[in-house]
Copies of this chain bind each other. A is one copy, B any other.
Amino acid sequence: MTRFAKSVEALRASQIRDLMSLATRPGIISFAGGMPGNDLFPLKYIDKITAELTEREKQVAMQYGPTTGLPQLLESLSEFLKKKGLPVESHKLIITTGSLQAINILAKAFVDINDDIIVENPSFIGALSAFKSYEANINSCGLDDEGIIIDDLKNMIESLEAQNRKPKFVYITPTFHNPAGVLYTYRRRKQLVELLAGHDIPLIEDDAYGDLTFESTDSADLTPIVSMAGNSLEVCYTGSFSKIIGPGLRLGWMLVPPTIYRKCELIKQAFDACSPSYTQVLADKFLRSGVIYDYLAEIRVEYKKRAKEMIKQLEEYLPKEVKWVKPRGGFYIWLRLPEGVNSTEILKDAIEQGVVFVSGKTFDPEDNADNAIRVSYCNTDVDTIARGIPIVAKAIKEHLKNK
Protein backbone atom coordinates (compact mmCIF):
# COMPACT_ATOMS: atom_id res chain seq x y z
CA MET A 1 0.00 0.00 0.00
CA THR A 2 1.51 3.26 1.15
CA ARG A 3 5.13 3.93 0.32
CA PHE A 4 6.89 5.89 3.03
CA ALA A 5 9.88 8.16 2.87
CA LYS A 6 13.19 6.38 3.30
CA SER A 7 14.24 8.66 6.12
CA VAL A 8 11.44 7.27 8.26
CA GLU A 9 12.81 3.77 7.93
CA ALA A 10 15.92 5.03 9.68
CA LEU A 11 13.94 5.66 12.86
CA ARG A 12 13.68 2.78 15.26
CA ALA A 13 11.31 2.17 18.10
CA SER A 14 13.02 3.32 21.25
CA GLN A 15 12.95 1.39 24.48
CA ILE A 16 11.97 4.52 26.29
CA ARG A 17 8.21 4.29 25.78
CA ASP A 18 7.95 0.77 27.13
CA LEU A 19 10.19 1.66 30.05
CA MET A 20 8.09 4.69 30.84
CA SER A 21 4.93 2.63 31.09
CA LEU A 22 6.80 0.33 33.46
CA ALA A 23 8.22 3.25 35.36
CA THR A 24 4.76 4.55 36.18
CA ARG A 25 3.41 1.12 37.22
CA PRO A 26 2.21 1.43 40.82
CA GLY A 27 4.78 0.23 43.32
CA ILE A 28 7.75 -0.01 40.97
CA ILE A 29 10.87 1.97 41.88
CA SER A 30 12.04 3.93 38.88
CA PHE A 31 15.56 5.14 38.21
CA ALA A 32 14.66 5.26 34.51
CA GLY A 33 13.10 8.65 33.91
CA GLY A 34 14.92 11.78 32.84
CA MET A 35 12.16 14.00 34.18
CA PRO A 36 11.86 16.09 37.33
CA GLY A 37 9.93 14.46 40.15
CA ASN A 38 6.24 15.39 40.17
CA ASP A 39 6.64 16.53 43.78
CA LEU A 40 9.27 19.10 42.78
CA PHE A 41 7.31 21.22 40.27
CA PRO A 42 6.92 24.93 41.18
CA LEU A 43 3.12 24.72 41.43
CA LYS A 44 2.80 27.43 44.06
CA TYR A 45 4.72 29.91 41.88
CA ILE A 46 2.77 28.98 38.74
CA ASP A 47 -0.55 29.31 40.59
CA LYS A 48 0.40 32.80 41.69
CA ILE A 49 1.51 33.80 38.19
CA THR A 50 -1.70 32.44 36.65
CA ALA A 51 -3.89 34.23 39.19
CA GLU A 52 -2.22 37.56 38.46
CA LEU A 53 -2.40 37.52 34.64
CA THR A 54 -4.20 40.50 33.12
CA GLU A 55 -6.91 40.11 30.45
CA ARG A 56 -4.44 41.36 27.87
CA GLU A 57 -1.81 38.81 28.94
CA LYS A 58 -4.41 36.04 28.77
CA GLN A 59 -5.27 37.07 25.22
CA VAL A 60 -1.61 36.96 24.23
CA ALA A 61 -1.39 33.50 25.84
CA MET A 62 -4.25 32.23 23.65
CA GLN A 63 -3.00 33.79 20.38
CA TYR A 64 -0.33 32.89 17.82
CA GLY A 65 3.05 34.47 18.55
CA PRO A 66 6.09 35.19 16.40
CA THR A 67 7.91 32.09 15.13
CA THR A 68 11.06 32.97 17.05
CA GLY A 69 9.21 33.47 20.36
CA LEU A 70 7.17 36.02 22.31
CA PRO A 71 9.18 39.28 22.56
CA GLN A 72 8.78 39.50 26.34
CA LEU A 73 10.14 35.97 26.85
CA LEU A 74 13.03 36.60 24.46
CA GLU A 75 13.85 39.63 26.59
CA SER A 76 13.64 37.98 30.01
CA LEU A 77 15.42 34.85 28.79
CA SER A 78 18.21 36.97 27.28
CA GLU A 79 18.62 38.62 30.66
CA PHE A 80 18.73 35.22 32.40
CA LEU A 81 21.30 33.86 29.94
CA LYS A 82 23.38 37.02 30.06
CA LYS A 83 23.76 36.64 33.82
CA LYS A 84 25.18 33.19 33.19
CA GLY A 85 27.76 34.69 30.85
CA LEU A 86 26.20 33.59 27.58
CA PRO A 87 26.90 35.68 24.46
CA VAL A 88 23.40 37.05 23.89
CA GLU A 89 24.74 40.09 22.04
CA SER A 90 26.68 38.26 19.33
CA HIS A 91 24.18 35.39 19.00
CA LYS A 92 20.44 35.22 18.26
CA LEU A 93 17.80 33.55 20.39
CA ILE A 94 14.87 31.38 19.22
CA ILE A 95 12.27 29.85 21.52
CA THR A 96 11.59 26.23 20.56
CA THR A 97 9.07 23.55 21.48
CA GLY A 98 11.43 21.86 23.93
CA SER A 99 15.17 21.77 23.31
CA LEU A 100 14.71 18.56 21.32
CA GLN A 101 13.02 20.69 18.68
CA ALA A 102 16.04 23.01 18.72
CA ILE A 103 18.32 20.03 18.08
CA ASN A 104 15.99 18.72 15.37
CA ILE A 105 15.93 22.11 13.63
CA LEU A 106 19.72 22.29 13.69
CA ALA A 107 19.93 18.76 12.30
CA LYS A 108 17.60 19.73 9.48
CA ALA A 109 19.58 22.90 8.82
CA PHE A 110 22.92 21.12 8.53
CA VAL A 111 22.31 17.57 7.35
CA ASP A 112 21.70 16.19 3.88
CA ILE A 113 21.30 12.44 3.49
CA ASN A 114 24.52 10.55 4.33
CA ASP A 115 26.31 13.62 5.64
CA ASP A 116 28.70 12.79 8.45
CA ILE A 117 28.24 14.13 11.96
CA ILE A 118 30.02 13.30 15.22
CA VAL A 119 28.43 12.63 18.60
CA GLU A 120 29.64 11.35 21.94
CA ASN A 121 29.29 7.71 22.88
CA PRO A 122 27.03 7.41 24.85
CA SER A 123 24.70 10.16 23.66
CA PHE A 124 21.21 11.61 24.28
CA ILE A 125 18.68 9.31 22.61
CA GLY A 126 16.39 12.17 21.52
CA ALA A 127 19.19 13.81 19.56
CA LEU A 128 20.17 10.48 18.02
CA SER A 129 16.56 9.99 16.82
CA ALA A 130 16.55 13.46 15.27
CA PHE A 131 19.88 12.85 13.51
CA LYS A 132 18.76 9.43 12.26
CA SER A 133 15.54 10.90 10.90
CA TYR A 134 17.63 12.97 8.46
CA GLU A 135 19.72 9.91 7.55
CA ALA A 136 22.89 11.43 8.95
CA ASN A 137 25.90 9.17 9.03
CA ILE A 138 26.54 9.14 12.77
CA ASN A 139 30.14 8.73 13.96
CA SER A 140 30.67 8.42 17.70
CA CYS A 141 33.62 9.22 19.91
CA GLY A 142 34.21 8.01 23.47
CA LEU A 143 34.04 9.97 26.73
CA ASP A 144 36.29 9.77 29.75
CA ASP A 145 35.82 11.50 33.12
CA GLU A 146 36.91 14.87 31.70
CA GLY A 147 34.78 14.83 28.55
CA ILE A 148 35.10 13.73 24.95
CA ILE A 149 38.49 12.13 24.27
CA ILE A 150 40.29 14.74 22.21
CA ASP A 151 42.86 12.49 20.53
CA ASP A 152 40.14 10.11 19.38
CA LEU A 153 38.06 13.00 18.10
CA LYS A 154 41.05 14.46 16.27
CA ASN A 155 41.79 11.14 14.59
CA MET A 156 38.16 10.72 13.65
CA ILE A 157 37.94 14.18 12.07
CA GLU A 158 41.18 13.74 10.16
CA SER A 159 40.18 10.34 8.92
CA LEU A 160 36.79 11.63 7.74
CA GLU A 161 38.35 14.69 6.10
CA ALA A 162 40.86 12.46 4.33
CA GLN A 163 37.87 10.71 2.74
CA ASN A 164 36.23 14.02 1.80
CA ARG A 165 33.62 13.48 4.48
CA LYS A 166 34.00 16.63 6.54
CA PRO A 167 31.58 16.38 9.47
CA LYS A 168 28.68 18.87 9.39
CA PHE A 169 28.87 19.34 13.16
CA VAL A 170 29.89 17.82 16.47
CA TYR A 171 27.03 17.39 18.98
CA ILE A 172 27.84 17.19 22.70
CA THR A 173 26.27 17.61 26.15
CA PRO A 174 29.29 18.85 28.08
CA THR A 175 27.56 19.86 31.30
CA PHE A 176 26.10 17.01 33.38
CA HIS A 177 25.91 14.68 30.44
CA ASN A 178 22.88 12.55 29.67
CA PRO A 179 23.39 9.63 30.26
CA ALA A 180 27.06 9.70 31.32
CA GLY A 181 26.68 12.32 34.08
CA VAL A 182 30.10 13.78 33.15
CA LEU A 183 30.99 17.46 33.55
CA TYR A 184 33.61 18.42 30.95
CA THR A 185 36.60 20.08 32.59
CA TYR A 186 37.59 23.60 31.57
CA ARG A 187 40.77 22.22 30.01
CA ARG A 188 38.86 19.73 27.89
CA ARG A 189 36.41 22.41 26.76
CA LYS A 190 39.32 24.57 25.65
CA GLN A 191 40.99 21.74 23.76
CA LEU A 192 37.73 21.01 22.00
CA VAL A 193 37.28 24.62 20.87
CA GLU A 194 40.81 24.68 19.49
CA LEU A 195 40.41 21.41 17.63
CA LEU A 196 37.06 22.31 16.03
CA ALA A 197 38.08 25.89 15.23
CA GLY A 198 41.13 24.52 13.45
CA HIS A 199 38.92 22.37 11.26
CA ASP A 200 36.05 24.89 10.93
CA ILE A 201 33.48 22.38 12.16
CA PRO A 202 30.42 23.82 13.97
CA LEU A 203 29.57 22.63 17.46
CA ILE A 204 26.10 21.96 18.89
CA GLU A 205 26.33 22.44 22.66
CA ASP A 206 23.32 20.89 24.42
CA ASP A 207 22.98 22.42 27.90
CA ALA A 208 19.72 21.14 29.39
CA TYR A 209 21.18 20.53 32.86
CA GLY A 210 23.71 23.34 33.43
CA ASP A 211 21.63 25.11 36.08
CA LEU A 212 21.46 22.01 38.23
CA THR A 213 24.93 22.22 39.75
CA PHE A 214 25.46 20.94 43.28
CA GLU A 215 28.40 23.25 43.92
CA SER A 216 27.95 26.44 45.89
CA THR A 217 30.53 28.44 43.93
CA ASP A 218 30.77 28.48 40.17
CA SER A 219 33.48 26.19 38.86
CA ALA A 220 35.34 27.14 35.67
CA ASP A 221 34.25 23.72 34.43
CA LEU A 222 30.73 25.13 34.14
CA THR A 223 31.74 27.76 31.56
CA PRO A 224 29.52 27.28 28.50
CA ILE A 225 31.64 26.45 25.47
CA VAL A 226 29.71 29.00 23.40
CA SER A 227 31.03 31.66 25.79
CA MET A 228 34.62 30.48 25.44
CA ALA A 229 34.66 30.16 21.66
CA GLY A 230 34.22 33.81 20.68
CA ASN A 231 34.43 34.18 16.93
CA SER A 232 36.80 31.29 16.51
CA LEU A 233 34.06 28.69 16.18
CA GLU A 234 30.37 28.51 15.23
CA VAL A 235 28.59 27.21 18.31
CA CYS A 236 24.83 26.55 18.39
CA TYR A 237 23.83 26.44 22.04
CA THR A 238 20.56 24.77 23.11
CA GLY A 239 18.78 24.97 26.46
CA SER A 240 15.51 23.96 28.04
CA PHE A 241 12.86 24.97 30.54
CA SER A 242 12.06 21.29 31.10
CA LYS A 243 14.46 20.82 34.01
CA ILE A 244 14.15 24.29 35.53
CA ILE A 245 10.35 24.81 35.38
CA GLY A 246 8.66 21.77 33.84
CA PRO A 247 8.73 19.67 30.65
CA GLY A 248 4.96 20.09 30.25
CA LEU A 249 5.50 23.68 29.12
CA ARG A 250 7.35 22.22 26.08
CA LEU A 251 9.74 25.12 25.87
CA GLY A 252 13.42 25.27 25.07
CA TRP A 253 15.66 27.59 23.12
CA MET A 254 18.61 27.89 20.82
CA LEU A 255 21.23 30.63 20.89
CA VAL A 256 22.85 30.59 17.47
CA PRO A 257 25.22 32.61 15.27
CA PRO A 258 23.39 35.18 13.08
CA THR A 259 24.47 33.27 9.96
CA ILE A 260 22.29 30.35 11.01
CA TYR A 261 19.39 32.21 12.62
CA ARG A 262 17.22 32.90 9.57
CA LYS A 263 17.48 29.29 8.34
CA CYS A 264 16.40 28.01 11.75
CA GLU A 265 13.47 30.43 11.83
CA LEU A 266 12.25 29.19 8.42
CA ILE A 267 12.51 25.56 9.49
CA LYS A 268 10.61 26.25 12.69
CA GLN A 269 7.95 28.14 10.72
CA ALA A 270 7.31 24.97 8.71
CA PHE A 271 7.45 22.74 11.83
CA ASP A 272 4.84 24.29 14.12
CA ALA A 273 4.64 28.04 13.22
CA CYS A 274 5.46 29.02 16.82
CA SER A 275 5.84 27.50 20.27
CA PRO A 276 2.90 27.63 22.71
CA SER A 277 2.18 31.25 23.66
CA TYR A 278 0.29 30.03 26.70
CA THR A 279 3.33 28.52 28.37
CA GLN A 280 5.66 31.23 27.03
CA VAL A 281 3.65 33.80 29.00
CA LEU A 282 4.08 31.71 32.16
CA ALA A 283 7.82 31.15 31.57
CA ASP A 284 8.36 34.87 31.03
CA LYS A 285 6.70 35.72 34.36
CA PHE A 286 8.71 33.00 36.07
CA LEU A 287 11.98 34.53 34.84
CA ARG A 288 11.02 38.20 35.02
CA SER A 289 9.84 38.03 38.63
CA GLY A 290 13.12 36.43 39.70
CA VAL A 291 11.21 33.43 41.09
CA ILE A 292 13.46 31.25 38.92
CA TYR A 293 16.38 31.91 41.29
CA ASP A 294 14.43 30.92 44.39
CA TYR A 295 13.16 27.81 42.69
CA LEU A 296 16.58 26.80 41.35
CA ALA A 297 18.03 27.16 44.84
CA GLU A 298 15.31 24.84 46.17
CA ILE A 299 15.68 22.09 43.58
CA ARG A 300 19.48 22.15 43.63
CA VAL A 301 19.37 21.31 47.33
CA GLU A 302 16.87 18.53 46.74
CA TYR A 303 18.66 16.94 43.75
CA LYS A 304 21.95 17.14 45.64
CA LYS A 305 20.37 15.31 48.60
CA ARG A 306 19.07 12.60 46.29
CA ALA A 307 22.40 12.28 44.49
CA LYS A 308 24.20 12.03 47.84
CA GLU A 309 21.97 9.17 48.92
CA MET A 310 22.47 7.36 45.63
CA ILE A 311 26.25 7.78 45.92
CA LYS A 312 26.13 6.40 49.45
CA GLN A 313 24.14 3.35 48.38
CA LEU A 314 26.26 2.70 45.29
CA GLU A 315 29.45 2.93 47.36
CA GLU A 316 28.08 0.47 49.83
CA TYR A 317 26.52 -2.12 47.52
CA LEU A 318 28.11 -2.05 44.08
CA PRO A 319 30.82 -4.55 43.23
CA LYS A 320 34.26 -3.10 42.55
CA GLU A 321 34.20 -4.04 38.85
CA VAL A 322 31.58 -1.37 38.20
CA LYS A 323 33.10 2.03 37.40
CA TRP A 324 31.27 5.32 37.88
CA VAL A 325 31.83 8.99 38.60
CA LYS A 326 30.26 10.99 41.45
CA PRO A 327 27.93 13.55 39.86
CA ARG A 328 28.53 17.25 40.45
CA GLY A 329 25.07 18.16 39.16
CA GLY A 330 22.35 17.05 36.76
CA PHE A 331 20.18 13.94 36.93
CA TYR A 332 22.29 10.86 36.19
CA ILE A 333 24.90 8.35 37.25
CA TRP A 334 26.35 6.06 34.59
CA LEU A 335 27.49 2.65 35.76
CA ARG A 336 30.11 1.12 33.49
CA LEU A 337 30.12 -2.67 33.71
CA PRO A 338 32.88 -4.99 32.50
CA GLU A 339 32.99 -5.50 28.75
CA GLY A 340 30.62 -8.10 27.38
CA VAL A 341 28.09 -7.72 30.18
CA ASN A 342 24.51 -7.48 28.96
CA SER A 343 22.74 -4.79 30.96
CA THR A 344 19.40 -5.54 29.30
CA GLU A 345 19.48 -8.95 30.99
CA ILE A 346 20.23 -7.27 34.31
CA LEU A 347 17.32 -4.89 33.68
CA LYS A 348 14.96 -7.83 33.24
CA ASP A 349 16.02 -9.27 36.60
CA ALA A 350 15.75 -5.88 38.28
CA ILE A 351 12.24 -5.32 36.94
CA GLU A 352 11.21 -8.66 38.44
CA GLN A 353 12.50 -7.33 41.76
CA GLY A 354 10.52 -4.12 41.30
CA VAL A 355 13.18 -1.66 40.06
CA VAL A 356 13.61 -0.14 36.62
CA PHE A 357 16.51 1.80 35.01
CA VAL A 358 17.70 2.32 31.42
CA SER A 359 20.17 -0.12 29.90
CA GLY A 360 23.25 1.16 28.13
CA LYS A 361 22.44 0.11 24.58
CA THR A 362 19.69 2.75 24.42
CA PHE A 363 22.32 5.48 24.40
CA ASP A 364 24.85 3.86 22.08
CA PRO A 365 24.88 5.64 18.72
CA GLU A 366 26.22 2.43 17.22
CA ASP A 367 23.32 0.51 18.81
CA ASN A 368 25.83 -1.96 20.08
CA ALA A 369 27.54 -1.73 23.49
CA ASP A 370 25.26 -2.75 26.33
CA ASN A 371 27.66 -2.88 29.27
CA ALA A 372 26.38 0.19 31.10
CA ILE A 373 23.40 1.30 33.14
CA ARG A 374 21.88 4.75 33.61
CA VAL A 375 20.39 5.34 37.03
CA SER A 376 18.72 8.69 37.61
CA TYR A 377 18.02 10.18 41.00
CA CYS A 378 15.88 13.10 39.77
CA ASN A 379 12.56 11.40 40.05
CA THR A 380 12.82 9.37 43.24
CA ASP A 381 12.98 10.50 46.87
CA VAL A 382 15.78 9.64 49.28
CA ASP A 383 14.01 6.75 51.01
CA THR A 384 13.11 5.13 47.73
CA ILE A 385 16.68 5.47 46.51
CA ALA A 386 17.83 3.76 49.70
CA ARG A 387 15.46 0.88 49.01
CA GLY A 388 16.03 0.62 45.27
CA ILE A 389 19.79 0.83 44.72
CA PRO A 390 20.61 -2.31 46.76
CA ILE A 391 18.22 -4.21 44.47
CA VAL A 392 20.00 -2.88 41.36
CA ALA A 393 23.36 -3.75 42.93
CA LYS A 394 22.19 -7.26 43.72
CA ALA A 395 20.97 -7.83 40.16
CA ILE A 396 24.35 -6.64 38.84
CA LYS A 397 26.32 -8.83 41.27
CA GLU A 398 24.38 -11.95 40.43
CA HIS A 399 24.85 -11.31 36.77
CA LEU A 400 28.61 -10.83 37.16
CA LYS A 401 28.83 -14.00 39.28
CA ASN A 402 27.01 -16.08 36.66
CA LYS A 403 29.14 -14.90 33.79
Contacts and interface: CB of A to CB of B under 8 A. Distances in A.
Given A109-B8, A271-B101, A248 B276 contact: yes
Contacts of A115: 5
A205 to B, nearest CB: 15
B38 A63 contact: yes
Assembly of this chain: how many copies?
A: 2
Given A61-B248, A64-B247, A200 B1 contact: yes
**Secondary structure call for the A interface:** helix
A112 B5 CA distance: 5
Contact of A62 (B97, B247, B266): B247
Nearest to A252: B272
Given A5-B111, A62-B43, A133-B267, A278 B259 contact: no
A164 interface: no
A364 B133 CA distance: 29
A365 to B, nearest CB: 14
A246 interface: yes
A287 B323 CA distance: 51
B248 A126 contact: no
B277 A247 contact: yes
Interface stretch (A10-18, A288-296, A300-308): A10-18
Q: Lowest 3 CB-CB distances: which A-B pairs, in order?
A: A62-B246, A248-B277, A250-B276
23 contacts: A2-B202, A3-B110, A7-B108, A11-B267, A13-B262, A35-B63, A36-B63, A47-B58, A61-B246, A62-B247, A63-B248, A64-B242, A97-B272, A98-B272, A98-B273, A126-B269, A129-B269, A129-B270, A133-B267, A248-B276, A271-B271, A276-B276, A279-B279
Interface of A: 1-8, 11-14, 17, 20, 35-36, 38-39, 41, 43, 46-47, 50, 55, 58-67, 97-98, 100-101, 104, 108-113, 115, 126, 129-130, 132-134, 168, 200, 202, 234, 242, 245-250, 257, 259-260, 262-263, 266-267, 269-279, 282
